[in-house]
Amino acid sequence: MTDIPAKAVTPSASSGSVLLTLMKLRTFIALIAVLIFFSIAAPNFLSTANLILMSKHVALNAFLAMGMTFVIITGGIDLSVGSIVGLCGMVAGYLVLNGIDLQIGYTIYFNVLEIALITLAVGILIGAVNGLLITRLNVAPFIATLGVLYVARGLALLSSDGRTFPNLVGKPELGTTGFGFLGAGRLLGLPVAIWILIVVALGAAYLAKYTPLGRHIFAVGGNERASRISGVRVNMVKMFVYMFSGFCAAIVGLIISSELMASHPATGESFELNAIAAAVLGGTSMSGGRGTIGGTIVGAFVIGILSDGLVMMGVSSFWQMVIKGLVIIVAVVVDQAQRRLQSRVTLMQMAKAG
């Protein structure tokens, strides 16, 4: 699941390389397997309505997983995304209902577009806090984002005293209506959220493949020292990935509160774990340097379809957790096996040649 084209592997008819190809395509195979399985086992699984509903579920995790993928490729981790989702939802809800009180008798109300932009800015800002802690203060990513996880969740709860902001319909006279469009609107038959996912995913994939910044993200994860000596601005790269992750989380916060037309401060709890799982399932290596946006999206689909399909089959949610955990473990075990097999194949070829 790296960006090395398949032609780099010398083709040979041996069983080793067939196995290798199968292993490389494992996430795809898993995706097709769950699709086939559930279309047989769960009635109505392949109905258009169900597919669209599922893809909306998947989209939420896919956004977070994309941000997480870049972070993990640089060798870091972002545990704070779930909390950012919650906090950003609260920010959006607060702005729709209350606007900003300027303390001089006036209150500014924003229209929906402005609210969305402010919310995204908040997400990016929290990402920047993560980045600054990690690059300037040398806090380990795990600890820095764990701290921010608590802080952001606490702020979300404080913003409403733990209550839900209900009924975000807005008032026409204040120009705050239309917040539901993000979560419920459709363009050309597809939900708006899916369109946003497509745009962000294409953007992220382009960034990874065709820009210096994207190349630098992989380089930093592959070898930070060598990158530094080659003139890569390692700190800027790291700032970017955490800010992008915050941006993705803010989008999810917006979509969820728009779908529900309400913001609840506990929204997004444990979302970070699903995002990590999707990234890892899609071939992102936790030790950095390897991963693709495409793989991560497929990984998000496998996890999403698995949980929705199991729900439709009526499997207990406790069993769902067990199954999800097993799938993740198997994915990583296969990933490691592939690495070993691949290096053995290359070593054998070299020993023969040299």
Partner 1 sequence: MSAAREREIILKLEDVSKVYSGTVAVKRANFEVRKGSVNVLVGENGAGKSTLMKIIAGVERPTAGRILLEGEEVSFSSSGDAVNRGIGMVFQELNLFGNMSVAENIFATREITNRFGKIDRKEQENRAAELLERLQAGIRPDMLVEDLRIGQQQLVEIAKAVSLDARILIMDEPTSALSAAEVEILFKVIADLKARGVAIVYISHRLEELIRIGDYITVLRDGRITGQEEMKNVDTQWIVRQMIGSDAKDFAKADGHLPGEEIFRAEEICLPRATGGLAVDHVSLSLRAGEILGIYGLMGAGRSELFDCIMGRHGHSTGAIFIGGIKVKERDTTRRIRRGLALIPEDRQREGLVSILSVASNLTLASLSRFARLYHIHGADERQAVTQMVRELAIKVADPAQEVSSLSGGNQQKVVIGKALLTEPKVLLMDEPSRGIDVGAKADVFRTMRKLSRDGLGILFATSDLDEVMALSDRIAVMSNGKLTGMFDRAEATEAALVAASALGHGPAPHTENTAHD
Return residues touching partner 1 (CB under 8 A).
2, 4-5, 7-8, 210-213, 215-216, 218-219, 222-223, 225-233, 289-290, 343, 346-347, 350-351, 354
- Between vectors from CA 169 to CA 168 and to CA 174, what angle results, nearest 5°? 105
Q: What's the min distance (Å) between Cβ of 212 and partner 1?
A: 4
Indicate the residue type of 5: P
**Which position has the token pair 């001089």?**
104
Q: What's the min distance (Å) between Cβ of 15 and partner 1?
A: 21
Q: How far is residue 1's CA from residue 23's CA, in Å, rounded to a whole number?
A: 10
Closer CB to partner 1, 71 or 219, in the complex: 219
Closer CB to partner 1, 183 or 283, in the complex: 283
Closer CB to partner 1, 8 or 113, in the complex: 8
DSSP H helices, the chain, are 15-24, 26-41, 48-73, 81-98, 112-135, 141-160, 181-184, 192-210, 212-222, 224-229, 234-260, 271-281, 293-313, 317-353
Smallest CA-to-CA distance from 283 within 28, 10, 17 is with: 28
Q: What's the min distance (Å) between Cβ of 298 and partner 1?
A: 21
Q: How far is residue 349's CA from residue 219's CA, in Å, rounded to a whole number?
A: 27
Closer CB to partner 1, 57 or 215, in the complex: 215
Handedness of CA 171, 172, 174, 179 (dihedral sign): positive
Q: What's the min distance (Å) between Cβ of 295 and partner 1?
A: 15
Please list the residues that pair with 101 across neighbouring strands.
Answer: 107
Closer CB to partner 1, 264 or 290, in the complex: 290
Q: What's the min distance (Å) between Cβ of 285 and partner 1?
A: 9
Buried b (16+ CB within 10 A) or exposed e, 310-327: bebeebeeeebeeebeeb
Closer CB to partner 1, 218 or 271, in the complex: 218
Q: What's the min distance (Å) between Cβ of 74 and partner 1?
A: 12
